[in-house]
Amino acid sequence: MKLAAFVSGLALVACALDLENGLMKAPPMGWLAWERFRCNTDCKTDPDNCISEKLFVDMIDRLADDGWKELGYVYVNIDDCWMAKKRDTSGKLIPDPERFPSGIKALADYAHSRGLKLGIYGDMGNYTCCGYPGTTLDRVEQDALTFAEWGVDMLKLDGCYSSEDEQAQGYPKMAMALNATGRPIAYSCSWPAYQGGLPPKVNYTLLANICNLWRNYGDIQDSWRSVLDIVDWFSANQDVLQPVAGPGHWNDPDMLIIGNFGLSDEQSRSQMALWTVLAAPLFMSTDLRTLSRSSREILQNRLMIKINQDPLGLQGRRVLRVQKSKSHIEVFLRPLSHSASALVFLSRRTDMPYRYTTSLSKLNFSASAVYEAQDVYSGGIISGLKAGENFTVIVNPSGVVMWYLYPTITLM
């Protein structure tokens, strides 16, 4: 059977996954191990930071006890390096017995007892990216059943050590296998990231029917340059990416690195604002045990989370790019429910705060209303904004000003 015909057929049989699992109608929120803790398996010399049962219990406790769960951060996601190096005698995946002595089911049960959900990692290929057992085509159903038996709530399926043909068969096959278990398991696909992230090699119509979210681009690193690289790629390709995101199926620009080592407070506020305007999943990858007060305030900003979780589910766009702005200020806009909008003014400058003057009409807002804006970080309110009148925002280098904007009066 030719590959194109195979994928076309799968589009029909798998078309109801997002309707059947009913999950992630808003961008998912939680914690993911990879960026901060990577594949550290040395529990003898680094017991607090290695990929182990202890690390995930600690993060479950922090999410449950420190106010995260109530805000929507409910997923605790294991990434690579949790497995034993070989499957058991029956061919099942098993966790490393020294680092996860109680097993994954016990960890999932503990997460559930604390009102949280557990995510796990697999790889559509011969090996995971770090060399642990992968999920080959003949193991898809078995691994899906194993995850369901353990009580797992989410699967991130990577794509190392597999061919284009194996990915084209395997990712839809896993969607059907997860559905067949009868357990609601959210499904994160890395498939598009391995195919360049864009059509014609990536079929986003198919993806939206088989995956709840997907990685489009390369892994984030702990640096401002990496954040900007991702934002620039998403913005350059927004005409393709923006229409395919929505309730139950999201583009995923990767983890939040706020609270780690590579971002200043200004840059941390910028990443949070930009991920929110992109309607991105909010998966923190930081050490919640040692998180600073300023990072916590950014990540727990209630208005920011309200905007991210907006039920309309539209992804925002960059409406003014730096090449057309001598000020080196970029503007992003996300339409929200109830005729509201999120506006982000991002400085690409590296010198000093900049006074940026514009008007709502220049950003294509209707002149038939008067608006009010709430600064998402300061909480300040600006009332009586008319579309044709200029306003000024002061944006710090590599920082943002973010507004929650809504009409208050309709003009005749």
Domains of the chain: 29-309 (3.20.20.70), 317-410 (2.60.40.1180)
* Whether 27 contacts 253, CB under 8 Å: no
In angstroms, the CA 303 to CA 300 distance is 9
| pLDDT at position 9 | 40
- Return the pLDDT at 5: 34
pLDDT at 20: 66
State the pLDDT at residue 295. 98
How much is the pLDDT for 309? Answer: 98
Catalytic residues: 158, 219
Residue 407, preceding peptide bond in cis (omega within 30° of 0): no
CB neighbours of residue 122 within 10 Å: 26
If DSSP codes are grouped into helix, strand and coil, which group holds residue 276?
Answer: helix
Q: pTM, whole model, 2 decimals?
A: 0.95
Residue ranges in the chain whose pLDDT is less than 50: 1-19
Query: DSSP string of 282-346?
Result: EEE-S-TTS--HHHHHHHT-HHHHHHHT-TT----EEEE-GGG-TT-EEEEEEE-GGG-EEEEEE
- On the 0-12 / 13-18 / 19+ scale of CB atoms within 10 A, 44 is exposed
Dist CA 86 CA 95 (whole Å): 10
Cβ atoms of 403 and 372 closer than 8 Å? no
- Return d(Cα 36, Cα 25) in angstroms, integer: 27
CB-based burial, 203-233: b 16+ in 10 Å, e otherwise: bbebbbbbbbbbbbbeebebebebbbebbeb
Percent of the chain at pLDDT above 90? 93
**Tokens of residue 85, six digits:** 């190096």
Q: Are 116 and 63 in contact (CB under 8 A)?
A: yes
pLDDT score for 326: 83
